Every structure is written in structure tokens, then in C-alpha cells.
Structure 1
């Protein structure tokens, strides 16, 4: 028997949360997979979702000949570059450093830049370090040993290929699934990464307040001039750190005389 949308959303939220807590008690690595399966079974049982309209079919690539224009460069390319740089690269590199990977940004920028250049004619113009994916694949949940966490990246790449091949089916799936289910599942998947990052950021007492300001400003998700919360949160944290901990220039000799 189908429930109302509001009651179904509340029940789904509680079921996913309780399932995560119970599964996390026994298996941290597969907790999210279990929550996903439990959530789908629950939605089917409550009549909140139906997969009858879904059709498994591959998405065929379409070659798009690029057309260069100053208007597109300023109104599309530049904003996308800034959004990708501030919303993906910077958080992604911070996640890597927080998880113990001291990788230089230069080879990553070079590889992703060349990838964007090669794949842009096929619509993949934002080849970049995915911050959320990095947070999931580089944490302890992927593997206890940091040297073995590359397996999560390989598995992620395989699933990305499948998602790309069946992109139209995936888009239809997101339309069918309730928004509460998707957002709750995504939030639960990031709990470990968020908790670990906060624990590391708040260790040093001198930078504790600026770290909290950065986190809260980012969580507010304010969007101005096409730039998202990641950029403004980082800017707020840098300004707060500069004001509270910045050193004033010492006076010159003639001023001290």
C-alpha cells in the first residue's frame, strides 16, 4: 500500500539512517551498499518507486565539432573553469592530503587538462579531480592500508565507464528514485570523510576556529557570481585566518627611532 509522499520520505530517511547505524556496527566497508539495497527494497514495498518505465539501453557517443567564440569563452568556459577549480580541484587535493597522500598537484592538473582537451569534442569538458569521489575512495573505508586504496579508484573507474555507457538509463533512474533517498544515501556515504576531515582540521588549537569558519561557510552553500560554496568557504577561512593570525609588518628602523 502506497504511503503519502511526506510520510514515505520520513520513513525512508529513518530506515536508511537506522540501517546505516546497524550495518556500520558489523561492516564499515559494505555499509553503504547494504543501505542502498535495503532502501530500494523498502521503496518497492511502500510503493514509492516503480522501475517498470526504465529501459536498459546504451548511450551512443555523438561527435560535436567545437565552435570557438568570445561569448562562449567568457560566459561558459571561464565560469566552468572557475567552478571546477574551486569546487573540485581544491577540495579534492585537500582530501588527498588529509588522507595521507602527499601527491603534487602538477601531474594531476596536467593529466586532467590533457584529458579535458581530448574529450571536450565528445562533451566531457570537465575532466577533473572529483572531490566527493576522492573522499570516498581515499579514506579508511576503502582499505585500511593506504597503499591498497588504489583498488577503490580502479573500481570507481570501471563503474564510471558503465555509467557513461548507460547514461540515459541512469538519468531515468534518478528521476524515478525519490530525492530524499538520493540525498540521504549520499550524505551517509560522506559521513566518514567529513568526520575524518573535521578531526584532522580541529587538532591544532590555533587553527580550530578558522577551520570551523571554513566548514560552516562551505556548508551554507552560498552561490555568488556562479561560484559555489567550496570557493566562498575557502575564501572565508583564509580571510579569517589572515585577520586572526596574520602578522603585522614590523616597523622600519626610522619608525622605531
Structure 2
């Protein structure tokens, strides 16, 4: 097993001076796991439930994702001595949460998850497939994600009107922490929401114990096109590609093909027990690989190994948390999920509408994705991307036909 040399790694002398802060990577790893898990596990449960999972199957999916990403993160980090973060696909879960479900129910959704894993694995083996994903305009990919997120991000407003005494403290906690401790805004709001559930809900004791629930996958064309393909695109465009960029900005060259192979195999392995997709971390990458993980870059891999262990501990608690979410009063957990995604929505909107030449195509993509339509058993995200590509092709083709080269007069058609 060969360790990968980290670009910009500190020298031996620097390593010696960092011994006094050796707790840095461990603490950063714990923060990475706690923030990553608490900021989005509600979105994961909402996505699996929307696809037809029972509470037990959704809890099994959350447990599976924790274990798979922990093992993948430990393998890559130890093998390359690099702080490579692996996470579940939060944008993918949001996509599932806003869909109308898979025609054929949960078994078809599970089959689609395996197809998503196969596509990720194929991207590692066939670079041309990655080129096709990269060819999708960033503006349209971001617009599709923004449209998917919009219905979820509306939830805090509607829930606040319907349940002000329950949802109000959640929103207030999020707003205060956003001002004084931004990183903990979503976990803090979620803690308040869960506290409200504990005080008001009656949860059966047997539901607290983690257990895997197997579902035999069922494959359909509609499931592959309507669920697997959008899930693959949003995972690649919103997690894997940005994850590599974040790591590069911090001085690390991620083993791209191996990371895709590991996450693709992990997604396939976890699909039968409910896991939808795992991928390179983006936000969590900055937590584990940034300066907070210590001054010595060559030791920051300890942070992701620590995060891996923490995720295994969180996996044990996943069933209890899933039971609390299932028993929550109307609107409170949806509000917490919406607050968790507001930052991603803002970034997606900014990226989608930033280029004036693609603004109309991006807007068309966004509204179709937000509409929640289903045509031929295929969900809105797929049709949104097709709509955006079609509008973009028409508008750009029109511009090419009508614009004259500088200094020349268009020729007469006669």
C-alpha cells in the first residue's frame, strides 16, 4: 500500500512543531461527522420516505449510508494518507424528497439506486462518460438542483404559519446561530426540533434499535430514466466535481477514478438495504482538510479517519433518530430540513442565473424541476434538464444565425 504524497505537505520540521496541536485533526474529524450527519439526515429520511420506504426501511437506509461512507472514507484516507471525505448525496436525497416516487414503489427505487451506483462505477472505468457529465452546462445543473430544493425550502415558511409554537423556536435558533456560530446553525435548530419531538411524541422502544431491512431490487426503464439518471447527474455535478475542486483548493489531488470506483461499489452494495448514493464530500471536505484540521497537511488524514469512526457510532443511533423524525408533529422536521438546504439553494440560484446568456434556459430548467410534474412515469428533474438543454440550444442557435461577424454585413439571401 503506497501513501500518496500530498502537494504542499509540510516538512519534517513543520511536523515536529505541530505535535502540540495533535488534537486538531481528531477534533476536526468529530466536527465533520457531527455537522455532516446532523445537517442533512432529515433530508435523507424524507427522500427515502418519498420513494415509498416504510419507517423501518428508511431507518435501514440511513444506517447503511453511515456504514458505507465510513468504510469508504477510512479506506481512501488510510490508503492515500489524505483527508478524503465521503458523504451521502444530500442533493440526491433532496431530489428524491421532491419526486412523486417511483412507479412500482420502493423495490423500483432500490433498483434505481443500484443503477446509480453502476453509473458512478462506469464513470471511473469509462472516462468518456465523465466527459458527458462535464458537458452538461453548469448553469443548467445548478438550476435543476435549485428547482428540486425550492419546494423543500418553502417548508419552514408554511410550517411556521401552521405550527408557530412548535416551529418558531426552531427557526429562531437557526437565525441566532447563523449570526454567532454559522457552522452550528442547522445542528442547533435540529436539536431544538428533536427536543420538541421527545417532549410530545410517543416512540415505541423497539424502534430504537438499528437493523438492516433487505429489499430485492426491481429494475424498470422508468426507474432508470426518472430516478437513477437524475440522481446520478445531481450527485456528480453537485457533490463529486465540487468535492474535487474543494480538495484542490486546499492543496490535495484526489484519486478521482479510485474514489468514483469506491463510491460506485459502495452505492451498489448499500442499495438493497436502502442507501441511495454515496460520493465525495464537498462541504465536509473543507471541514476535514482545511486549516481547522491542524497546521500540518500531511496529518490531516487523521481527521477523516476520526470522522469515519464517528459515523459508525452515529450509525448505532440512526434508528432512534429515524423513529423520532417519524413521530414528529406536523411540519417541524420538514422545517428543519428546509433550513438545512437554504444555503445550498442560495448557491445554486447564484450559479444558475449568473451567466446572462443562459439565464432563460436556467430559469426554464428551474421552474420545470420545481413543478414536480411526472410524465410517462418519469419525474420532473429529468424533464427539467431536457427543457433547459432544448431552450439553450434554440436560443444559442438563433444567436449564431442572426449575429454577424464583427466588421461584416450579413449576406443577402437572394
The 8 Å contact of residues 58 and 167 in structure 1, kept in 2 or not, is answered as yes
The 8 Å contact of residues 59 and 165 in structure 1, kept in 2 or not, is answered as no
- State the Cα distance separating 1:215 from its structure 2 match: 1.9
* 2:182 paired with 1:28: yes
Q: Judging changes above 3 Å, is the alpha-carbon distance between structure 1 residues 169 and 123 closer, same or farther for their aligned structure 2 residues?
A: same
Instruction: Structure 2: state its 5+ residue gaps.
Output: 1-158, 249-253, 294-299, 402-412
Please point out which of 64, 83, 88 is paired with 2:227.
83
Q: 1:95-114, aligned counterparts within 5 Å?
A: 95-96=238-239, 97=241, 100-101=245-246, 107=258, 109-114=260-265
Please point out which of 166, 173, 177 is paired with 1:12.
166
Q: Judging changes above 3 Å, is the alpha-carbon distance between structure 1 residues 223 and 165 closer, same or farther for their aligned structure 2 residues?
A: farther
Distance 1:187 1:37 in 2: 15
Higher RCO, 1 vs 2 (CA within 8 Å, ≥6 residues apart): 2
Match of 1:253 in 2: none
Match of 2:334 in 1: 183
Match of 1:49 in 2: 201
Secondary structure, in 3 states, of the residue corresponding to 1:190? Answer: helix
* 2:266 paired with 1:123: no
* 2:394 paired with 1:243: yes
Distance 1:157 1:196 in 2: 28
Distance 2:224 2:317 in 1: 25
The 8 Å contact of residues 59 and 167 in structure 1, kept in 2 or not, is answered as no
Instruction: Give a deviation string over 1:119-164, Cα, whole Å, max 9, x none.
Output: 56x535744449xxx57546x7x58959979999778765664565
Please point out which of 201, 212, 228 is paired with 2:379.
228
- State the Cα distance separating 1:188 from its structure 2 match: 0.6
TM-score by length of 2: 0.44
TM-score by length of 1: 0.66
Match of 1:217 in 2: 368
Distance 1:23 1:8 in 2: 24
Match of 2:351 in 1: 200
The 8 Å contact of residues 84 and 126 in structure 1, kept in 2 or not, is answered as no
Which range moved further: 168-177 or 236-245? 168-177
The 8 Å contact of residues 19 and 35 in structure 1, kept in 2 or not, is answered as yes
The 8 Å contact of residues 116 and 124 in structure 1, kept in 2 or not, is answered as no
Instruction: Give a deviation string over 1:182-237, Cα, whole Å, max 9, x none.
Output: 21111111111111121122221111222222222212222334433322222221
Please point out which of 193, 210, 223 is paired with 1:58.
210
- State the Cα distance separating 1:110 from its structure 2 match: 3.2
Match of 1:74 in 2: 220
Distance 1:80 1:159 in 2: 33
The 8 Å contact of residues 137 and 152 in structure 1, kept in 2 or not, is answered as no
Distance 2:224 2:283 in 1: 24
Instruction: Give a deviation string over 1:68-114, Cα, whole Å, max 9, x none.
Output: xxxx4437xx7157513312x21122224457458898655533333
Secondary structure, in 3 states, of the residue corresponding to 1:196? Answer: helix
Q: Judging changes above 3 Å, is the alpha-carbon distance between structure 1 residues 32 and 58 closer, same or farther for their aligned structure 2 residues?
A: same
